[in-house]
Amino acid sequence: MKKFSTAFRAIPALALASALCTVSATAAGTQDQQADQFATCAFRSDAPDQHRVVKGDTLWDISGRFLAHPWCWPQVWGLNRNQIRDPHWIYPGQVIVFDRTARRLRLGDAGTAGSASGALPEIRLSPQTRIEALGPQAIASIPAGAIEPFLTEPLIVEQETLASSPRVVATAEGHISAGRGDKVFVRGDLKGETSFQAYRPARPLKDPVTNDILGYESAYLGVVRLDRPARAENEAHRFVVTTSREEIGPGAHLLPVPKRLATNYVPHAPATAMEGRIVSVYGGLTQAGRNNVVVINRGTRDGIDPGTVLHLYRLGRMIKDPQAGPDQPLIKLPDENYGTLFVFRVFDKLSYGLVMQVTDAVRINDPVRSPE
């Protein structure tokens, strides 16, 4: 599995306390309060005694074998959200053991769950932080392959950014557009950056409720590098195209190449109860299924951050009461919860989410809400 960081980091020793508890948040704003807002983390009635981790597993998949709600796996490990913000601590070959007495999960040895005494061996680890190298095989929280392209390309560009970003004003003489190795000329404030991604604003993303334009889904064109900065106020910067997915021409906008984003996330409910809507399905589709990416009309300004888990709902129909008179108002049927959405990249007004378990197709305008 592709790994974005191989540096040494501090991760918690697995001296795990019992964690199956139900808590209600009385205030919002801190990370601990966010961590306390998990729904009751119930184990499945058919949960196995143990599971040996294999390559390709994710924490979400493993948790789904044991838990009714896979996203609340941090709760049954007894770790707070700060401790597992970068949860690279489970590897292929390790065994996840379900301690039925303590109602928790922990790492153990194969076969320990079925010992003759019926008791699991005590694993004594000092309650301290230890340093471990993060190997490339550590399993991710969610399928990395489904979201990697969305971590390295801008994709959503908000109106304010669009208005202020540098833009290509010309290509080399005799060229209508530019490819790898060609030169392009750029106007705008580079703000000290030298490497940029080129993109072309595509279709607008509108809020399904207000109809306001929240941003633009962009077409990624490639990467350009500064070759010669402008030396006069009315002079253009000269860039060289280093990577080209599509040809780059006048009108293309530039954004600084983003830093690599981590692919491991700690699933959590929003800090406060919230509701949003599905704005679009990536790729211009009208419906989405498992492992598809959708855009919602909520972002950092609404308290959404990477790892936020939301439930998907189908709006209830409006019907007539067959026993009521013709002048009686319509009756609304309850909205139906049909799946789970995992937010992995957040902008100011919009966010990308990966569709997890669903029992129906995800449609534009469907509500998304905090887990109940």
Residue 83's SS3 state is: coil
**CA within 13 Å, CB half, 35:** 19
pLDDT at 328 (0 to 100): 84
Q: What phi and psi values does residue 63 have, to the nearest 5 degrees?
A: -65, -35
Among 296, 297, 367, smallest CA distance to 335 is for 367
Q: What is the mean pLDDT of residues 230-243?
A: 95
Q: What predicted TM-score, i.e. pTM, was given to this entire model?
A: 0.71
pLDDT at 48 (0 to 100): 94
Whether 310 contacts 304, CB under 8 Å: no
Q: How far apart are CA 186 and CA 170, in angstroms?
A: 7
Q: Which residues contact 70 (CB under 8 A, 6 or more apart)?
A: 60, 61, 63, 64, 340, 356, 357
* The two structure tokens encoding residue 317: 């129909």
Q: Which residues contact 122 (CB under 8 A, 6 or more apart)?
A: none
**Which one-letter DSSP state was computed for residue 98?**
E
Q: How far apart are CA 218 and CA 202, in angstroms?
A: 5
Band (pLDDT 50/70/90 cuts) for residue 59 is: confident
Which part of the chain has CATH 2.40.10?
Answer: 275-369
CB atoms within 10 A of CB 288: 26
**CA within 13 Å, CB half, 235:** 8
The residues that bridge with 336 in the sheet, in sequence order, are 314
pLDDT digits 0-9 by tens, 294-348 = 999 999 999 999 999 999 999 998 998 888 777 888 899 999 999 999 999 999 9
Residue 310's SS3 state is: strand
Q: What percent of the chain has pLDDT over 90?
A: 45
**Which one-letter DSSP state was computed for residue 58?**
-
- CATH dotted code for 275-369: 2.40.10
Q: Which residues contact 326 (CB under 8 A, 6 or more apart)?
A: none
Residue 117's SS3 state is: coil
Task: Identify the residue with better confidence: 67 or 86.
Answer: 67
